Structure 1
Amino acid sequence: MAENKIYRGLGDSDFNIGVFIQNEPDSAEFSSLTSIQALQSGDITRISSAFGNGWRKVFNVYAKLLFALDSQLFPYQSLASSWQQYRDQYLLQQGSKTALIFGSPHQIQTNAINIITGRHFGAKSESEFEFVWVDHHFALCPPHRVIICPYFDYRQLTNARIEQLSVYINQFVQNK
């Protein structure tokens, strides 16, 4: 569970992989959230249609990342035949162990992988964690299982960078 910390966002409140994002869909439905709300089947399509291509990219990149993880360590590939099917049928739903968290990345869950999307957003947490920048795109804080990565967008978090991020996540779990 979320260690008595307040999280606002979408997904499973008992997450293993939490993605912290600075923005949220611009509507009263999301700005009034006071906790993590599980999505239902069809919500990702609805949100993508209502709030634009940027949100579709966030969901797509998240699902692609989950499918890039080591299937021996993470069950995502066993649930669906493709990342697209996983996105539509499981991502951010109850029991998915995934969350998209709006707001402060200093609120982390220590027994989960915590991914901060966006270098500038992640920089706000650099005083709270001892990050090691491994290159221009990724910073790691292994003791707290926190990663700063490019924003979840195809141009910033390319397929090659998704693979690189998956290696860091796999290493965090293997070195637990």
Structure 2
Amino acid sequence: MSSMKKRIPMFLLALAMMVAMALPTFADSPSVYSSLGDSVSSVQNTYYQLNAATEGTPVAGTLLTMWHNTGSNTQRWDIVTCPGTAYYWFQNAANKSVVISYNGNTQARLAAKNTSTYGIQTQGIKSVTEGNTSEGFVKHGLVLPTYVLCLTASQCSDGSQAQWLASNGKSNQLWIYAKYY
């Protein structure tokens, strides 16, 4: 009987170690979403994604357009909290040093990520939840103090431009985030 009493604690210890090894380990990520970036699609047509319009690595000045899903990192975005604010940087997964920015023109472009207070004010984007789609996806407005990121084409297609315009309350200014791992 005493050898049985010794085996039970050893069995429980071995079982506890097996369970501990089987549990996943979670690490903090700078992105509020996935580590490989998220797609950002228009509510109007989720087949097309917000895209840094380049064949290579995006740089400051790269235009933002819509493009069908190619699986490229130029279509993936890390959504990172701007320090001390309720705003986010949308940094491109293919080049994390560039972010979606308002550059004084309506055409949306990327700019070099700037961590200074001035940079946060011009590059920080508020993500405003605007309810759900009929499929259950959360709709977001991407908002600057005066402008909203919108799709200007009535029909989405490869190369459709994304622009900063005044709010119009229509679906061309609503976006869906999808996680990619």
* Fold match (TM-score > 0.5): no
- Higher RCO, 1 vs 2 (CA within 8 Å, ≥6 residues apart): 1
Which structure's CA Rg is the greater one?
A: 2
